[in-house]
Structure 1
Amino acid sequence: MAEPKAPKIEFPCHDYPIKVLGDAGDELQQLVIEVMERHAPGFDQTCLKIRDSRNGRYQSFTVCITATGEDQLRAINDDLRASPLTKMVI
């Protein structure tokens, strides 16, 4: 039986969601904004959604960008994961 193939994304892909989970605080929010500005300049910061965990120790940030290609998405993922503040990138 053949393995199912991942769905193809057509680029540019508008409103591509990226979710970042990490330690709560302003530092993680600044990191997310800096990385998005570096790789998706001019992204809409008003679409940034922040949710606190039940105990307030962690936060999730969801941001939508215009994805221009796999290289861009890989670079965003790598830059976000390089920080010890980041626990997961989806």
Structure 2
Amino acid sequence: MSFLSLLRNPATHFALNITTLLGVSGGTYLLRSHMVELSEDHDARMDELEGTLRGHIGLIEEALDRLEGKATEADRGKKM
């Protein structure tokens, strides 16, 4: 069987199409799962950053209240 007759064989075309389809779908699955993982990591980092920022804003507001003379000792630490 020569190489050209192998290329004309329908079974060869079918096997090549199935192999290509499996390769593309496998790559797509891996890429999607990686993107989902990156998205979850990003969301976790943003949640942590939001908490940090809220804490700093509370500290700044407390300091501002103390400077303006509005805060009492009972108010200390309530804004965090």
TM range (shorter): under 0.3
Structure number with higher helix proportion: 2
Answer 1 or 2: higher relative contact order, Cα 8 Å, separation at least 6: 1
**TM-score of the aligned structures, taking structure 2 as reference length:** 0.23
- Structure richer in strand, relative to its length: 1
